Structures are given as C-alpha cells and as structure tokens.
Amino acid sequence: MHLILEYLAFFIAFRYYVFLRKQSADSITSANRLSIIIGAIFGALLLSRAVAFLENPVIHSQEGWMALMNNKTIMGGLFGGLLGVELAKMIIGEKQSAGDLFTFPIILGIIIGRVGCFLAGTNEFTYGKKTSFFMGMNLGDGLNRHPVALYEVFFLLLLFILLTKIQRNSKSLESGMLFKFFMISYFLFRFFIEFLKPNTFFVVGLSSIQILCLICLLYYQKTIRQATAYAVKKLHLL
C-alpha cells in the first residue's frame, strides 16, 4: 500500500500541476519550464539519496548499492530540487520565479505519500518515539508511538488552506513568495518534529534532517527577515 500511494502521489501531484498551469498565465515558456522540471528531478534524485545516507552513514555504508538507492528522504528531495531549479534557470537564463506553480502539487503529493508512510507503520522510518501522549498509537511493534506521519498530514492540510487564502487575498503577492512560505514553514516544522523521532545518529546534537532544515532556513534568511519585519509592523499598528 505504501508503494502504491507513493506512485499515486507522484501521478496526482503531476496531474494537479498540469491542471494549475493550464488555469494560470505562466510567464515561463514551455521549453524553459521543461528544463526547470528536469533540473528539479535530478537535484531531488541526488540530494534525497545523499541526505538519507547521512541519516546514519555508519549503517548505510554497510548496505549494498540497491539499498542505498532505495533510501530517500523528501527533505533532501525538496532542497535538492530547489538547487536543481536554480541551476537550470542559471543555465537557460530564466529570470522569472518558477516555484509558485509547484507549491500546491508538492503539498498534495507529500500528504498522499505520508498517508502511505503511516500505513507502513514501523516498516518505514517515519514513526515517532514511544509516548504516553493521548495520540500515541501502536504502529506495528506493540508500543504506543507518536504518529509523526499523521502530525505531518495535519500540518500540511492547514498549510495548504493557509497558502490558498494568502494567494486568494494577496493580489500583489510577489512572484515566488508562495513557494518560499511553503519551504520555510515546512522545514521549520520538520526541524521540531524530528525531536519526536527515534534518531540514533547526531552531529552537534542534531540529525542530518535537522541540519538540512537549518541550511534551508539560512538560504531563505532574507525572506524570513522581511516577513518578521512585516509582522512586527502589523502588530505595532494594532
């Protein structure tokens, strides 16, 4: 079921992207958009495997190549896709922001994929630590654990609704800001939710996913500063 939902996530997310592109006035040509998608695919493919390997390099280095290729993480995929897009845009000379059109399909795809992760239970490393919290669940090993995948689904549903309202109510929103908001929100959420997972390999007390989250937030530090200043100004006016 997890594998089925994983492939279904890719298919539905892509069809949703095609639908949104037909409904919007995309300022990027089809040829350039294709180059951007190819850049995103290769960037996501490489970094999703690399970050998954770094989750526990001692154990993963003892596995075969097939196991290494099968290990992947959405966090590496997202940041790798971002870097791949920026590299592709640099090569083809595209100046327009390309992220907004991908934002909602990506969120939808992750939601579907996380449902598959939840159904996989402890066979997929998206479960949480043992807990006495009222939402603790037996995910297959007889212990009550944080259903981290469900927490993520709930968060992404709220984020989807919030970004939809922002897009609808902010007509003058700068191009690319929806995608930036998504990346900042999701990587910030994942940084904190990782504390609920039974990670065993740490660098300076953080998992590889958390270190990647900090790198991504540093990448968007200008946007974070601008958003913080805007929020403080609004609060001051109130």
pLDDT digits 0-9 by tens, 162-195: 999 988 887 677 888 899 999 999 999 999 999 9
Specify whether the CB–CB gap between 186 and 216 falls below 8 A.
no
Output the pLDDT for position 148.
95
The token pair at 103 is 């934002």
- The answer to whether position 133 is within a domain reads yes
Residue 117 lies in a domain: yes
Question: How much is the pLDDT for 158?
Answer: 97
Number of H helices, E strands in the chain: 10, 2
> Which tokens is 43 given?
């960037």
Contact yes or no for 197/129 (Cβ under 8 A): yes
Domain limits for position 138: 2-27+96-237
Q: Is residue 129 part of a domain?
A: yes
222 pLDDT more than 70 = yes
Measured between its terminal Cα atoms, the distance across the chain in Å is 50
Tokens 């992750």 belong to 110
Residue 49 lies in a domain: no
Please indicate, yes or no, if residue 160 is contained in any of the structural domains: yes
**Is 79 part of any domain?**
no
* Separation CA 212–CA 73 (nearest Å): 11
CA 56 to chain centre: 20
- Is residue 47 a part of any domain in this protein? no
Task: Categorize the per-residue pLDDT at 60 as very low, low, confident or very high, splitting at 50, 70 and 90.
Answer: low
The pLDDT of residue 66: 59
How many domains does the chain fold into? Answer: 1
pTM of the shown model? 0.90
Whether 109 is in a domain gets the answer yes
Q: What is the pLDDT of residue 228?
A: 87
